[in-house]
Structure 1
Amino acid sequence: MAFFALSQPITGPATVKGLVIDSATNKPLSYITLSLKDSVTQQVIKSSLTKTDGSFELSQLPVKSYQLMLIAVGYQSKTITVPAFSTSAHPVIDLGTLTLATSSSQLKEVAISASRPLVKQEIDRLSYDVQADPDSKALTAMDMMRRVPLLSVDGDDNIQLQGSGSYRIFINGKPSALLANSPKDVLRSMPANTIQKIEVITTPPSKYDSEGLAGIINIITFKKTADGYNGTLSTRYSYPYGPSISGTGTIKNNKFGASAFFGTGRQTTTRVTADNFRQTFTAQQPDVPTSLFKQQVSMANGGNYLYGGGEMSYELDTLNLLTANINYSLGKFKQEFSRNTQFYTTTQQSYLLLSNGGMNWQGIDAGLNYQLGFKHKKDQLLTASYRYSYYLNGQNSNVNAVNRVNFSNPDYNQKNDAGAREHTFQLDYVHPVNQLTIEGGAKAILRSNFSEASGQQLLANGYTDDPTRRNDFKYHQDVYSLYNSYQLKLSKYTFKAGARLEHTRIDANFITNNTPLMMNYTNLVPSVSAMRSLPNNQSITFGYTSRLERPYIQQLNPFVDRTNVQYISTGNPNLRPVTSQLFELTHTKTGKGTLSNKISYMYTGNSIVQVLSVANGVSTNTYDNVGTVKILRWNVSGNYAFNNKLNLNFYSGLFYVWVTGPYNGRFYSNRGIRTNTFANVTYKPADTWSFGASGGYNRRYILLQGSSNDYVYSSLSGSKSFLNKNATITLVVNNPYQKTFAFTQYSDTPDFYQSNTSYQIYRTFNISFSYKFGGLSSDIKKNKRNINNDDKSSSN
């Protein structure tokens, strides 16, 4: 007789549990990151942390095969195959005691979150994972900047890094034509879903150029590519700004690989307003205005833009690698202004100034790199690189005055074409010796700026050339540099130290003003960083660097811009370079509640500051080396996972600013507290749904002659994924409580009070749809060293 035994079906839900201990001390390990993956699809099913006694329990699991990964700072990661579930209605797998060994290599980075962290603290930088932010699918790069610790963005989209406006910003470790002249416009139009992460490098090592007093902002867009192909297409509509479409793609076949991104859109014509106000006083009657100026401004602009970039790689063999990259941008906008002006002294003057015109830009940069490896040491590399960059900006306007009362200035038109060409040659060598890595290199940047401006005024016999509006200049700047750096990795320590020697040569001719300029100077820039890993998933990092700010062409150009008759601006060809000293100390602890604290101090002497003077009813803006700026800052950031569905990310910066300096016969001193605070809560009720709420508060600027008002911002978001998570639709509303925001900057001196208020569009609605396609299997090989022309300060 035959018997058939039928096993009881496994219905679930299933549970996996165990205990994690230190392999050397046998002590329980708390807050170890647990990541449970489907062994077939490798998708993360559930993430959690061990309890204070080292135990864990992952419950409510579907019955299938799993792999469990254990991750902890200072320990070697470990992957365990979960045995098959036994026959039971409620199957349980007890993995028993699991051991983790301490890592023999030094901690490289500290995660600020247990699963897909938004923020990571490394030895010399902090990075914000844009792709881990669920709102990134519908927001812009500028929106993301508001969320990055150490950065602040004011109501007019001016970015500051640790309270300073002097920094470098580039894409994928390289300067880009996309950001050459007007980074605000590019960041406002660039979709955040094309960005992988944003790095804030506060203590740049010596391989980077020394420019940027506060550090470097690096926007990383390219992702790893591999055999096969993949890509993402996204479309977005923002009210009131208009539609855009963007995409990223990668492809690799054997030794050849390529990646690319692009974006294009149309900005609907939008209109904003502004108010300008000024009073002047005398020493004899300091409370009685001697003149009064009022101006209501209406501004409208809109147009089309596109940008894109790509990177290619070809492996000649295992030791020889060629890579190339290219970026391109193009845009054309129409602009309209109306300035209703009233000026009171002993008489009244009034007029309405109407302006019609536009702006356009075009930029391209391209690079070629050759990397040579060595047989005996895979990290020993010699890299030769070349980069070419070019951009051209054009502006034109026709201006006429109506409703004139005691105003006799003629109507006029003006146009300006300005741009730059740049050639860069670079050689880098990396030589590892056991736990020590030695780097050295040389670099030459050959830069040429140019400008051609002209204008005409309307006289009785028609339009006639106006020599006061002509502005021709040629500006050559060459920077030659050598650097050497050392990095030592021990079991609990990492040290970085190096120095960079830079020689700058300037040969300029401001032809219209007959102002030649010859200047040569040499700077030695040191950089030191150290990281120590501590018990209980803690680390402490110290950094020191000296940084350099060279005056850029807009600050040097002596041409006088008279677009607004009683608000003129000009440059100062006598500006000198500026150096700063930066110290910072950071403590980070990871676990269920993760916290990072940074204290920093920056001192800048002879700083380039924007200054204002008033004479004969005309305000003149220019620049001068008169400021001494000191910034003491405390920054705290962190993450707390209440459970698997609810997560909080936050940061807050509190800093005290001192600004002092003499100008125009007076000594100014201004000081005060500044803050920038941001918090984001994410709720995921299901695997395909996500909701978020965020808000921030930034306290006023501290300027040499004045200040600004505070500002608050917020957003609400929701997203839904479908088609096996390949498609996502996202909706975001920014500042739902406020249609416009009045951002005011003012100057207050014994001689005058002046304020400039812009009423920015604040409430916006964004809806986006993105679709991922393709599949990859192995990584593309890329150069580990390339050109980074981070020697020019950002100007917002």
Structure 2
Amino acid sequence: MKTKIIAVLSFIFLFNSLNAQEQVKDSLISNQESSIQEVVIEGKKPLIRTKIDGLVYNVQSDPESKSKNLLEMMRKMPYLSVDADENILFKGNTNFKILINGKETQLLTSNPKDFLKSMPVNTIQNIEIITNPSSKYDAEGVSGLINIITAKKMKDGYNASVNLSSKFPKQENNAGFSMNLQRNKFGISVYGGGYLKNSPEISYQNSQYTVSNNLFQNGSTSGKGNGGYFNVNASYEIDSLNLLNIQLGSNIANNTAKDHFNSGFFQQNNLKENINSISNSDGNGKGFEASFNYQMGFRNDKSQLLTLSYRFNSYDYGINSVTDFQNRLSNMSNTMNQNNDNQNNENTFQVDFVKNIKKVYLETGMKAILRKNSSQYTTVPESLLNSDEFSNQQNIYGAYVTTKFSFLEWNFQTGLRLESTVTNVNFTSTNTQVNQNYLNLIPNISVGKTWKEHHGINFGFSQRIKRPGINRLNPFVNQSNPYIQVSGNPYLKPVINNDLMANYSYNHRISLNLGLGYSFSNKIDLKVSTYNPTTNITNTTYENSSNVSRLGLDYNLNYPVTKKLTFGVNGNAAFFFIKGKINNIEVENNLFTYYVYLSASYQFENHWNASSNLELNSRMPAGLQSTTNAFTGSSFSFSKSILNNQMSFSASVNNPFNTFRKAVTETIGTDFYQNNYVRDYYRSFSFNITYKFGKLRDEIKSTRRKIENNDLAN
């Protein structure tokens, strides 16, 4: 056994760690940052650092990082919030991208919630919240970018971390690990994890009212799920000017669900149909990604860097459901089998070049994304109504230039990005094609100034593209509910979002950040529901029929009342103005919204920490016609570190005063009203154990420019 262990460790160290010779890159960054100033909170461990394009949140400086997972931590970060379904919102919007160490990873596109819950928080150094991304980033990501920084300073050696957590009564068990190894010019960084879910039965109700008909549905649903992910990043420093980096990753997800529901349809207050159904569904997904980056420096000009990158990414998932009906109308089948198999892959090629020209930092590059999505979907026995093979091929070609410089004590970041998109959609069974070709020139500018070391102010303007993803394009019609059917729309077009923003920061003993923003989009693809009085079916899909604008204030305050007691508040207040047309009838959904997250943390002696949180959420828009209800939340937790801070454990209770939460979505149509609510578990208890060991003293090298495909909305 010892021989096997020694052999495995020898192999790992042989295929090991990347060393510190990104001196070319580091000198370039330090030269540039000397002209683009930052505002820093004074102290040993500053919590927030502001930059010209956003801010940096130091996770390790927050005592609550020992008792909360990363998803929970994001509730208290500036510009971010988390809704009741654990969806992250960036300035109240779900359209943004998450990167890890500056790179996009496929698992954060397909399954971000479970990844953020299982990843060890003590391996995360900083979270970059980029509110005004420069032109070097893809034009997608309407609200901005979140960049998770995990790299640590290290030299030859290793470090590792293991994280275990459990939550109940809605059972969630998560495990994650990370490991970094370094030996001479070789380096390797590995992280992975998995989860098990077992959701107990919860109830729901749907009701719909029209002029002459009423629909009442009630049911219950339960489910199980499991999944895992693994990612390895290896690098080799050929010499002081040349660096190779390879990344491999994979992930899987499996889910099952069981649904019972009863549906009563009334015409003129007379019961016309009373359906009972049982539905069983299975979903399976698997993803793979591989990337290669080569970075080359220049002896004659240390500020120059050339990077060549390639990335392959694929994700396949399939859903199968069988629904058995009882008491259905005689002309309809009593059993329905639906299948939806999706295959998605893309190849990306990228070239980047950076250089300092006197005091001006210049970055430019080109990129090509070749993407293919396909779906085979069937419904049996009604296959003639809802069966097809759907193929969506999309090629995106981009070029950009961006600069940074200082003038009259003001810092500037400005650039342009040109993107050409060629899309071909094909329906095999009907031999129908949809072609969309468009060219976009996307500007970006940020202007900032700091004074008296602690004060900073930034202004910015940017345009971003929101391209519809496969989930919105897929025309598959989910008919498991015979009266309420949902589908995608393959004819959707991209949307341009315009964003004006201003930010003030004061970072001294107190940290205060205020962001005022106004954004607007025309012909945005929102959910639209229409009622067909002939079939008595409500159809929900997406249409480019709405104009949306948001005027909002985002705020964040951290106040150390004493050396041990810290108080914080994070939140936003915004006006949403939504206007569109449905069947040529104008509809408005204007709403004032707010989010408040209050936190308090106290550090006792002997590495004990206690914290409490209170969360307030207002009603929120959920499309052109829909809104979700308001809710409040609370939590109490404590944590303890032992073994010289190598091991920590924590326990928490969330929403101790409410066993269940009633989540309500109201939809108002021109000729119907619909109310959907789910009674879900709200009170929960969780435990977490983290152990870290090893020591490294320089960071594993990674090429400065990597492929970041932030161009798709879900």
TM-score (norm 2): 0.90
* Structure 1 residue 132 displacement after superposition: 3.4
Aligned partner (choices 333, 336, 351) of residue 275 of structure 2: 351
Aligned to 2:624, the other structure's residue is in SS state coil
CA separation in 1, counterparts of 2:144 and 2:33?
A: 31
* Structure 1 residue 222 displacement after superposition: 4.3
**CA shift in 2, pair 1:184/1:234, >3 Å:** closer
* Structure 1 residue 513 displacement after superposition: 4.9
CA separation in 2, counterparts of 1:736 and 1:161?
A: 27
Match of residue 22 from structure 2: none
- 2:242 maps to 1:320: yes
Aligned partner (choices 191, 201, 206) of residue 276 of structure 1: 206
Match of residue 210 from structure 1: 139
Equivalences for 1:633-644 in 2 at 5 Å? Answer: 633-644=552-563
Cα-to-partner distance string for 1:536-586 (whole Å, 9 max, x where unaligned): 511111111011111222222333221221111122232221111111111
Q: Is the 1:139–1:191 Cα contact (8 Å) retained in structure 2?
A: no
* Identity across matched positions, percent: 34
- 2:157 maps to 1:157: no
Q: Is the 2:126–2:148 Cα contact (8 Å) retained in structure 1?
A: yes
- 2:514 maps to 1:590: no
Aligned partner (choices 346, 367, 379) of residue 455 of structure 1: 379
* Structure 1 residue 725 displacement after superposition: 1.3
- 2:542 maps to 1:623: yes
* Structure 1 residue 125 displacement after superposition: 1.8
Equivalences for 1:420-569 in 2 at 5 Å? Answer: 420-457=344-381, 466-489=383-406, 492-535=409-452, 537-569=454-486
**CA shift in 2, pair 1:691/1:474, >3 Å:** same
Match of residue 586 from structure 2: 667
Q: Is the 2:79–2:555 Cα contact (8 Å) retained in structure 1?
A: no
Match of residue 518 from structure 2: 601
Q: Is the 1:559–1:570 Cα contact (8 Å) retained in structure 2?
A: yes
CA separation in 2, counterparts of 1:274 and 1:407?
A: 28
Q: Is the 2:276–2:327 Cα contact (8 Å) retained in structure 1?
A: yes
Match of residue 75 from structure 2: 146
Q: Is the 1:156–1:743 Cα contact (8 Å) retained in structure 2?
A: no
CA separation in 2, counterparts of 1:409 and 1:350?
A: 15
Match of residue 148 from structure 2: 219
Aligned partner (choices 733, 736, 740) of residue 660 of structure 2: 740
* Structure 1 residue 221 displacement after superposition: 4.0
Give the counterpart letter for 1:359 in structure 2: G
Aligned partner (choices 87, 94, 107) of residue 178 of structure 1: 107
**CA shift in 2, pair 1:647/1:500, >3 Å:** same
Give the counterpart letter for 1:327 in structure 2: G
* Structure 1 residue 528 displacement after superposition: 0.3
Give the counterpart letter for 2:488 in structure 1: G
Q: Is the 2:67–2:639 Cα contact (8 Å) retained in structure 1?
A: no
* Structure 1 residue 189 displacement after superposition: 5.4
Aligned to 1:211, the other structure's residue is in SS state coil
Equivalences for 1:50-69 in 2 at 5 Å? Answer: none
**CA shift in 2, pair 1:744/1:406, >3 Å:** farther
Match of residue 10 from structure 2: none
Match of residue 681 from structure 1: 600
**CA shift in 2, pair 1:336/1:187, >3 Å:** farther
CA separation in 2, counterparts of 1:427 and 1:215?
A: 23
Aligned partner (choices 251, 256, 259) of residue 334 of structure 1: 256
- 2:706 maps to 1:782: no
* Structure 1 residue 143 displacement after superposition: 2.3
Aligned to 1:316, the other structure's residue is in SS state strand
- 2:579 maps to 1:650: no
- 2:492 maps to 1:613: no
Unpaired stretches in structure 1, ≥5 consecutive residues:
1-102, 282-289, 458-464
- 2:49 maps to 1:130: no
Match of residue 304 from structure 2: 380
Unpaired stretches in structure 2, ≥5 consecutive residues:
1-31
CA separation in 1, counterparts of 2:616 and 2:404?
A: 38
CA separation in 1, counterparts of 2:665 and 2:37?
A: 42
Aligned to 1:791, the other structure's residue is in SS state coil
Q: Is the 1:549–1:577 Cα contact (8 Å) retained in structure 2?
A: yes
Give the counterpart letter for 1:746 in structure 2: E
Q: Is the 1:235–1:245 Cα contact (8 Å) retained in structure 2?
A: yes
Q: Of the two structures, which has the highest relative contact order with CA contacts closer than 8 Å and spacing of 6 or more?
A: 2
CA separation in 1, counterparts of 2:386 and 2:118?
A: 32
Equivalences for 1:690-769 in 2 at 5 Å? Answer: 690-702=609-621, 703-769=623-689
Aligned to 2:620, the other structure's residue is in SS state coil
* Structure 1 residue 386 displacement after superposition: 0.3
CA separation in 2, counterparts of 1:744 and 1:732?
A: 27
Q: Is the 2:151–2:700 Cα contact (8 Å) retained in structure 1?
A: no
Aligned to 1:614, the other structure's residue is in SS state strand
CA separation in 2, counterparts of 1:104 and 1:606?
A: 39
- 2:226 maps to 1:304: yes
Q: Is the 1:138–1:193 Cα contact (8 Å) retained in structure 2?
A: no
* Structure 1 residue 257 displacement after superposition: 0.9
Aligned to 2:590, the other structure's residue is in SS state strand
Q: Is the 1:416–1:454 Cα contact (8 Å) retained in structure 2?
A: yes
Equivalences for 1:405-420 in 2 at 5 Å? Answer: 408-420=332-344
Stretch of structure 1 that moved more, 702-711 or 329-338: 702-711
CA separation in 1, counterparts of 2:390 and 2:482?
A: 23
Give the counterpart letter for 1:654 in structure 2: A
* Structure 1 residue 228 displacement after superposition: 0.6
Give the counterpart letter for 2:373 in structure 1: N
Alignment RMSD (CA, Å): 2.3
**CA shift in 2, pair 1:471/1:409, >3 Å:** same
* Structure 1 residue 115 displacement after superposition: 4.7
CA separation in 1, counterparts of 2:75 and 2:415?
A: 32
- 2:188 maps to 1:258: yes
CA separation in 1, counterparts of 2:126 and 2:33?
A: 28
Stretch of structure 1 that moved more, 236-245 or 322-331: 236-245
Higher helix share: 2
Q: Which has the larger radius of gyration?
A: 1
CA separation in 2, counterparts of 1:643 and 1:476?
A: 58
Aligned to 2:471, the other structure's residue is in SS state helix
Give the counterpart letter for 1:660 in structure 2: K
* Structure 1 residue 193 displacement after superposition: 4.8
Cα-to-partner distance string for 1:347-391 (whole Å, 9 max, x where unaligned): 421111101121111111111100001224433210000000001
**CA shift in 2, pair 1:443/1:269, >3 Å:** same
